[in-house]
């Protein structure tokens, strides 16, 4: 997976490649799909949600440009896979999921696997989490119509926010948002993606 799906497609950050090589993806999906754990595509995890394809996980994390000691906010815990990968790079990961069943299963799974620098919370991810802000990086695993203002406000100056944005709930452009100062943000488009809708007060309405 690392050689053929990541390095071959331009993922070069050593810390990201090492983290992707370390986290066992098969532990984050149902037994039914275990044989497909390392295919280059998303897989269902319940509650009409998916675990993203490995390349997209790696790309989004690489775009955060994390440094040792970083504190990261993830929106859309899902199975906990991306949070686990992030936890091998960042000092602490705060991850928010709106589906209660996924919250409990992710907490149980991450605890059992020994990922002890991850805090899983239930809530409206579009509002972020002020308790641990500001964040060095924010990653959003769902597509919104615009970049949620609360997430921009919780981003540290110099930090980066990676999020799919688009007017279509199933087709988006991946954006890297860099906070230059208290009021200015630079946005760069990084290519087309397809994510589940970002539901919440500052996203799509359910």
The residues annotated with a catalytic role in the active site are: 52
Residues in contact with 35: Cβ distance below 8 Å, sequence separation at least 6, in sequence order: none
CA distance 33 to 26: 8
CB-based burial, 112-125: b 16+ in 10 Å, e otherwise: eeebeebebeeebb
Long-range contacts of 17-20 (CB under 8 A, 24+ apart): 17/58, 18/88, 19/61, 19/85, 19/86, 19/88, 19/89, 20/54, 20/57, 20/58, 20/85
Contact present, 135 and 155 (Cβ < 8 Å): yes
The helix (run of H) or strand (run of E) holding residue 84 is helix 81-87
CA distance 206 to 118: 27
Contact present, 49 and 28 (Cβ < 8 Å): no
CA distance 70 to 180: 17
């Amino acid at each position: 997976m690392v050689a053929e799906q990541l390095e071959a497609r331009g993922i070069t950050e050593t810390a990201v490649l090492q983290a992707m090589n370390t986290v066992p993806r098969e532990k984050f999906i149902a037994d039914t799909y275990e044989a497909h754990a390392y295919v280059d595509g998303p897989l269902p995890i319940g509650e009409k949600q998916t675990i993203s394809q490995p390349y997209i996980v790696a790309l989004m994390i690489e775009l955060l440009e994390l440094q040792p000691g970083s504190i990261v906010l993830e929106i859309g815990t899902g199975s906990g896979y991306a949070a686990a990968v992030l936890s091998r790079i960042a000092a602490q990961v705060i991850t928010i999921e709106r589906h209660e069943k996924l919250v409990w299963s992710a907490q149980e799974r991450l605890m059992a696997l020994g990922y002890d620098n991850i805090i899983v919370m239930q809530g409206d991810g579009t509002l972020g989490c002020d308790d641990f802000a500001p964040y060095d990086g924010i990653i959003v695993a769902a597509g919104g119509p615009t970049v949620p203002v609360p997430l921009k406000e919780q981003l540290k100056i110099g930090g980066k926010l990676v999020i799919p944005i688009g007017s279509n709930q199933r087709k988006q452009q991946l954006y890297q948002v860099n906070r230059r100062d208290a009021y200015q943000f630079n946005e760069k488009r990084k290519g087309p993606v397809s994510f589940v809708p970002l539901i919440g007060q500052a996203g799509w309405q359910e």
